Amino acid sequence: ETGVTQTPRHLVMGMTNKKSLKCEQHLGHNAMYWYKQSAKKPLELMFVYNFKEQTENNSVPSRFSPECPNSSHLFLHLHTLQPEDSALYLCASSQDPVSRDAGRFKEKLFFGSGTQLSVL
């Protein structure tokens, strides 16, 4: 148990469906992340939220819509996905990535168990 909980663990959806992935962290961290992991590109950073504000969007298609209502919760809303979007989606959190205090590894990531998504 890493303190980062993701639901659901598995999701199968059609291309016309709308679904959401949920992530919750119980570590008191300030930053949360969405990663996509597929066979073609092992670990891709999608979005970063720091203190609820989105600080990074790595050219992710608009069919993926993140939401971060507070520092403990992160959602990824999915709509009109394509089969190539099938992948493992990982949520992670870190303590305080803005600080450059090297001695306390504030950038260390703690990952959730992931959601295995299949788009039919």
Partner 1 sequence: ELKVEQNPLFLSMQEGKNYTIYCNYSTTSDRLYWYRQDPGKSLESLFVLLSNGAVKQEGRLMASLDTKARLSTLHITAAVHDLSATYFCAVPWFQGAQKLVFGQGTRLTINP
Tell me how far apart the alpha carbons of residues 5 and 9 are, in angstroms, rounded to a whole number. Answer: 10
Rounded Cα distance, 114 and 33, in Å: 12
Is-contact 88 38, C-beta < 8 A? Answer: yes
83 cis-preceded (ω within 30 degrees of 0): no
Interface segment toward partner 1; rule CB under 8 A; list 18-26, 38-46, 67-75, 76-84: 38-46
104 contacts 45 by C-beta, under 8 angstroms: no
Contact between 105 and partner 1 by CB under 8 A: the answer reads yes
Nearer to partner 1, 78 or 115 (CB): 115
Cβ 18 to partner 1, closest distance in Å?
A: 25
> Nearest Cα to 86, choosing from 1, 27, 7, 15?
15
Site string for partner 1, 48-87 (x = CB under 8 A): x-x----xx-------------------------------
Interface region with partner 1, contact rule CB under 8 A, candidates 18-26, 39-47, 65-73, 74-82: 39-47
Q: Give the residues lining the site for partner 1 (CB under 8 A).
A: 2, 31, 42-43, 45, 48, 50, 55-56, 88, 90, 92, 97-100, 102-103, 105-114, 116
